[in-house]
Structure 1
Amino acid sequence: MTEVSRASSPIPPDDPNRRLTVADPDGVGLRHVSVAGGTYTILVSGAETAGRYCLIDMLVPDGGGPPAHRHDFEEMFTLLEGELEFIFRGKTQTVRAGSTVNIPANAPHMFRNKSGAIARMLCLCAPAGQEEFFMAVGFPVASRTSPPPKASDEETAEKGKLMATLLPKYRTEMVAR
């Protein structure tokens, strides 16, 4: 049996500055934000993964979901509760609890909740960054189950302008459906 030395290992050494992350979606200290009619909880941020990925818990109410868009990073959803319609490259598919959907980078997509009930899913983006975009363009809320705030027309317009200016920074564009 040949022993592999640390110097010749193809895997970098452990970084003791990185910490174990344990996230309880209802625990204290997490960031919650209202985006696209839903409430998103940042479970694991890019700051905790050296920018490799982020993980977001999403509650999507009936009628909720983002407009058609695309971005140059991978995005994966695991539906925990409920049902959503995913529109991928113009084709619609209904996805139910227990399913996982992977959206390849650069592909146009969107999702919409037309089920009449709240849907819950986990969203993983690799590399990270989407969580910071959501925090910038969304409205902060107190908890994972907080309803979206009643924003004024002026506040909504301001967030829309901010989103338009931030889309390039976060490698995202809106697309016609």
Structure 2
Amino acid sequence: MTDPEPQIPPDDPRRQLAVVRPAVDDDLSHLALAGDIYTILLSGKQTDGRYCLIDMRVPPGGGPPPHRHDFEEMFTILEGQLRFTFRGEDVLVNAGETVNIPANAPHFFRNVSDQPARMLCMCTPAGQDEYFLEIAAPVESAAATPPEISEAEQNARRQKAARLAAQYRTELL
């Protein structure tokens, strides 16, 4: 006796088509974080927690501190060049290229050029979007300049990010 063919689950009519038009959607969340501007294009709420998609604008010198988390993270570079440090090894990634960070691996990225960089980041499953909403400062648009904040405010934000990291399956290194 052979096992029956696996069946695809039925369509879930509760889930809707999501179309994001950043040029006209004024309800997107734009966030200033670590000197970068992140726009949440698709949240975990919109994808039933399967993934989130974030448009990241990274100025020269920008990027997060070393960290790791228990979810996959894929970056497609749209503009510019970034240096990704993965398990202590550096790799330059240029516009048109994609890099995938496996779950649990230590990593970070930095814009080492003198030009702004832009990339799409997909996290699967979702959750990073919620973390960013908790720790980042809202800004008006993707083209906004990150707000000037004092050293005390920077320290307070770093402490909040560290305090909430485990809740969002992240470890700051």
Q: Tell me the TM-score range normalised by the shorter chain.
A: over 0.9
Greater Cα offset, 146-155 or 162-171: 146-155
**2:130 counterpart SS class:** helix
Structure 1 stretches (4+) deviating beyond 4 angstroms? none
Counterpart-to-counterpart distance in 2, 1:148 and 1:13? 44
- The residue that corresponds to 2:9 in the other structure is 12
Give the alignment of 1:12-31 within 5 angstroms.
12-26=9-23, 27-31=25-29
Q: What's 2:111 paired with? A: 113
- 1-side partners of 2:97 and 2:128: how far apart? 22
Q: In the alignment, which of 35, 49, 57 is matched to residue 33 of structure 2?
A: 35
Which residue of the other structure, out of 99, 103, 124, is the alignment partner of 1:126?
Answer: 124
State the identity %.
57
The number of residue pairs the alignment matches comes to: 168
Q: Distance in 1 between matches of 2:140 and 2:147?
A: 10
Report whether the alignment pairs 1:99 with 2:97: yes
State the Cα distance separating 1:112 from its structure 2 match: 0.3
- The TM-score, its normalising length taken from structure 2, stands at 0.93
Q: Equivalent residue for 1:77?
A: 75
Post-superposition Cα deviations, 1:18-59, rounded to whole Å, max 9, x if no partner, equal 111111223211000011211000000000010000000000
TM-score, normalised to structure 1, is: 0.91
Quick check: 41-50 or 145-154, which moved more? Answer: 145-154
Q: How does 1:39-54 map to 2 (within 5 A)?
A: 39-54=37-52
Whole-Å separation in 1 of the counterparts to 2:74 and 2:34: 17
Native 8 Å contact 1:25 1:57 kept in 2 = no
Range with bigger deviation, 61-70 or 12-21: 12-21
The one-letter amino acid paired with 2:38 is: Y
Could you tell me which residue of structure 1 aligns to residue 156 of structure 2?
A: 158
Equivalent residues of 2:69, 2:169 under 8 A apart: yes
Contact kept, 8 Å, 1:79 with 1:120, in 2: the verdict is yes
